[in-house]
Structure 1
Amino acid sequence: MSKVELLTLADYKKAAATLYESFDDDDVARYVSNHLESDPERRKLADIALYEMYVYSHILRGQVVAVKGEDHESSDTFETVSVWVQPGALPVDSWWTLLRSGYLKLSWYTGLKGRKRVFQEMFPLLHDSAHEILGDDAEKAYFLVYLGSTPKARGKGNVRAIFEYMFSNYIDKNGFVSYLESSSLKNLPIYEKFGFRCVSDIWLGDKTNPKDSARMDVMVRGVKGEKWEQHDHVRKTRSYEPPKECALH
């Protein structure tokens, strides 16, 4: 049975390594560092630094929940890691939090273009889109920032264990809605199993250029897994055409 636990700052490097391995072929990860394509070693360092910053800042201000795995002490990674922001959390992107979390390290490795893509494009897009889509519900929503499993951990039930842990202990218990962005179309049916429904798409970069853009589909889970009250309205106002992978309407 998968053991779910909250991570501490002592775990942040291994948690970041887990996300790096999990999102090795992810469109968003590729977009924010593809300017380093000619320098694979530096690109890897930049990608890992970004995940370290995310994990560290969310351990400080949010919640990082994981299934470590039985052999985690002898492994470079955990099995599955999820990163969350809870209602009422202090901003994870304040300068003091970012500095504590490794902003300077990331800035050094990713360079000017990478800093622009992360801090001037990705962060504002994710923040503004969430508030535009959720409206008043943004103040009572749990945000799933990352959920990743290493290849060897997939199919072990860790994702279900983490969702059930979060729903029973935090989200459903307090009547919150849940929000996520998925950059993988194949994962949309998985999230639907847990009550999430597609409501919009958002794009990093120029969506007419598939080599330099990343699509994310926004999914919202209503209170206690019910259909979100604003689901149909948001789909209509944002002229969203869900991909075929979305079965729930």
Structure 2
Amino acid sequence: MAIDSRPALKSDIPSLAKALGRAFYDDPVSMWLLPDDDARTEQLATFFGTSTRVHHLAGGGVEVADDGAAVGAAALWDPPNQWKQSFWSQLRMVPSLFRSFGFRLGQGRMLSDLLDANHPEEPHWYLAVIGSDPSVRGRGFGQAVMQPRLDRCDAELCPAYLESSKFENVPYYERFGFRVIGEINLPNGGPTLWKMWREPQHP
């Protein structure tokens, strides 16, 4: 069936959260942050569901893709100058963050602070999260949730930014015009993230 890509609705959040939870199960940063293999998928789903509802959805940058079934992929974009969460949205997330991270909450806070400190200041669309359910990988779902926003970036002459947590994904993003501009090395033996920037593309 054809892939349908569209802006997310509030009703999409439960299936979006489950898809991202499965997508990031084997992600190096997720494994570093949430070492319990049995609990990780559900912990991630709780986190992604909450951050989408409290922060990303309001900015109008959440894209989902499906083929008539549940959400197969999602991208959580933040508009220019809106990537940083407000104090109130952070406060609203606290109960869910405790459910997600438990005693690892301090580690999660450290990660968040490190990403903030490395974030570019020039206005841009921020691709905070993109993931495809393992059951649909390789079928173009990732491109389906990324390309519409990149087309808008090009139309508005606005750059885009992301952090890749897997080195093997860097060439994938390079195909869409992103380039590596630096690295973020997580402490305590943590993995590396690659900072990637994309200038608007001209036809």
TM-score when scaled to structure 2?
0.89
Segments of 5+ residues of structure 1 without an aligned counterpart are: 73-77, 227-249
Asked if 1 retains the 8 angstrom alpha-carbon contact of 2:7 and 2:60, the reply is: no
Equivalent residue number for residue 105 of structure 2: 115
Give, in angstroms, the shift of residue 160 of structure 1. Answer: 2.3
Structure 1 counterpart of 2:195: 218
Which residue is 1:66 aligned to? Answer: 64
Equivalent residue number for residue 48 of structure 1: 45
- 2:157 aligned residue: 175
In the TM superposition, what is the alpha-carbon distance from 1:197 to its structure 2 partner?
A: 0.7
Q: Name which of 51, 72, 95 aligns with 1:104.
A: 95
Q: CA separation in 2, counterparts of 1:214 and 1:50?
A: 20
Once the two structures are superposed, residues 167-202 of structure 1 have per-residue CA deviations (whole angstroms, 9 ceiling, x without a partner) of 22x211111111110111111111111001111110
- Unaligned 5+ segments in structure 2 are none
Cα gap change, 1:161 to 1:199, in 2 (>3 Å): same
Aligned to 2:34, what secondary structure does the other structure show? helix
RMSD over equivalenced CA pairs, Å: 2.1
Q: Which amino acid aligns with 1:165?
A: P
Corresponding residue of 1:153: 136
Q: Which has the higher helix share?
A: 1
Between the aligned partners of 2:49 and 2:24, the Cα distance in structure 1 is 14
Shift of the 40–163 alpha-carbon distance from structure 1 to 2, 3 Å rule, reads: closer
TM-score computed with the length of structure 1 as normaliser: 0.73
1:163 is displaced (CA, Å) by 2.7
- Distance in 1 between the 2:83 and 2:21 partners? 25
Quote the offset at 1:152 in angstroms. Answer: 2.1
Aligned-pair CA distance for 1:224: 1.7
Question: Are the aligned partners of 1:53 and 1:103 in contact in 2 as well (CA < 8 Å)?
Answer: no
After the TM superposition, list the runs of 4 or more consecutive aligned residues in structure 1 that deviate by more than 4 angstroms: none
User: Does the Cα contact within 8 Å between 1:194 and 1:225 map onto a contact in 2?
Assistant: no
Q: 3-state DSSP class of the match of 2:184?
A: strand
